[in-house]
Amino acid sequence: MAEARPPSRLYLQIAAKESLCAEDIIAKIGDRACCVLLGPDAGSDAQRTQHLVSLAQSRDLACLIKDDVALAKSVGADGVHIPADPAIFADARRRLGGDATIGADCGTNRHDAMVIAEMGADYVAFGPNLTAVARNGDERGELIAWWSEIFVIPCIAWDVSTAEEAAMLAALGADFIALPQAFWESEDALTRAIEIDAVLRDGRRND
pLDDT tens per residue across all 207 residues of the chain: 345 567 899 999 998 776 568 899 999 999 999 999 998 765 567 888 999 999 999 999 999 999 999 999 999 999 999 999 999 999 999 999 999 999 999 999 999 999 999 999 999 999 986 444 433 456 789 999 999 999 999 999 999 999 999 999 999 999 999 999 999 989 899 999 999 999 998 764 444
DSSP 100-153: SEEEEEEET-HHHHHHHHHTT-SEEEE---HHHHHHH--THHHHHHHHHHH--S
Position 153 in a domain: yes
Q: Decide if 22 is inside a domain.
A: yes
Q: What angle do CA 25, 27, 28 make, to 5 degrees?
A: 65
CATH assignment at residue 112: 3.20.20.70
- Domains: count for the chain: 1
Examine residue 80 and state whether it is found in any structural domain, yes or no. Answer: yes
pLDDT score for 206: 41
Residue 182 lies in a domain: yes
Distance CA 46, CA 77 (A): 11
Q: For residue 206, is it within any domain? A: no
| Residue 90 within any structural domain of the chain | yes
Q: Which domain holds residue 70?
A: 9-200
- The answer to whether residue 196 sits within a structural domain is yes
- Would residue 134 count as lying in a domain? yes
